[in-house]
Amino acid sequence: MKRFLITGGAGFIGSAVVRHLIAATNFEVCVIDKLTYAGNTANFDKAADSGRLQFFQTDICDAPAVADIFEKFRPTNVMHLAAESHVDRSIDGPAEFIRTNIVGTYTMLEAARSFYNTLDEAGKKEFRFHHISTDEVYGDLDDSGDFFRETTPYAPSSPYSASKASADHLARAWMRTFGLPTLVTNCSNNYGPFHFPEKLIPLVILNALDGKELPVYGSGKQVRDWLYVEDHARALVTVSLNGAPGETYNIGGNNEKTNIEVVESICSLLDELAPREDGKPYRGQIVHVSDRPGHDLRYAIDASKIKTELNWTPEESFDSGLRKTVLWYLEHRDSWCRTVAEDARKRRGKGE
């Protein structure tokens, strides 16, 4: 029986993995999550009813607590998703990104190494440590027309991407030096249900519905490859089960869009699904603001390796995935608006 230990399992991508594992397999699942602003156990409420899910509210930097969870749960597969991931927040306060993304990854790797060394040969053969990362570690493609490949040199631009690049290197070093069987995946921009509304798509949806401005950095011509989160969850489980230790797999949605195209697509869907009372189009709420420092122009993933070697391809197009996402936020608007308001109060130091 496979036993999956998932860090950050109450977050956006992590909870999608949890829901997929519970729904599509008979594996045991254990979640470690600190429950920061972006983590919520409600993200996997239905999965918790399965009887196959354990949860520990634990900081991945707490080495004794993490080691104890390894010993109690005895995983066959570790999927390390816990991370600070918002670029703007990393610019405002890099320290937490260094602590969680670098020190936290080190702590997880050391706990995994200690546990791995207690296993018999059959257990060692089965064990995998899968580190989940981002395409932002590769830097900026400009308008070259090229794609990020697994062999693309690292050139991170923000404190966030630099911290993730460091974590990637640690995962690979722990295999080269200590023999811990690690895998690394680098994904493109995710979107879908349960996404905390600080990222572009959920923020635009909720701001539009609230009649607020829809801020777009600079010209809005920055290009991203968009990946529906449930497609990503399937890919991650595929890699964890079938990927070769020591390998890296890029995961993309084959959906390159400029930021302004994404915002305008959301506006068009809302015009159809939740028209404004005054009958005006949501596009009238778009405003262009000063660009982010060090903002990369284009990310684009070549996902041919995971397709060829592991037979994975995304099931959702951008249009189908975006419609599902907008509909989900419309159905859950009130709860997510409260979540945004509470986070804003906490960030101002006025909340409890």
Number of Cβ atoms within 10 Å of the Cβ of 23: 11
Is 186:135 a contact under the CB 8 Å cutoff? Answer: yes
Give catalytic status of residue 342 as yes or no: no
| Residue of 28, 33, 84, 136 marked active site | 136
Strand partners, 251: 187
Residue 270 vs residues 213, 214, 282: alpha-carbon distances, Å: 15, 13, 7
Give catalytic status of residue 92 as yes or no: no
Residue spans of beta strands (DSSP E) within the chain: 3-7, 28-33, 53-57, 77-80, 128-134, 182-187, 189-191, 214-217, 223-228, 248-251, 256-258, 286-289
Helix axes 229-242, 12-24, angle to 10 degrees: 70
The angle formed by the CA atoms of residues 282, 286 and 288, to the nearest 5 degrees, is 175
Is 61:111 a contact under the CB 8 Å cutoff? Answer: no
Backbone angles phi, psi at 88, to 5 degrees: -60, -40
Give catalytic status of residue 136 as yes or no: yes
| Residue of 33, 59, 84, 135 marked active site | 135
Q: Which of 223, 197, 186 is nearest to 302 (CA)?
A: 186
| Residue of 106, 116, 138, 160 marked active site | 160
| Catalytic positions | 135-136, 160
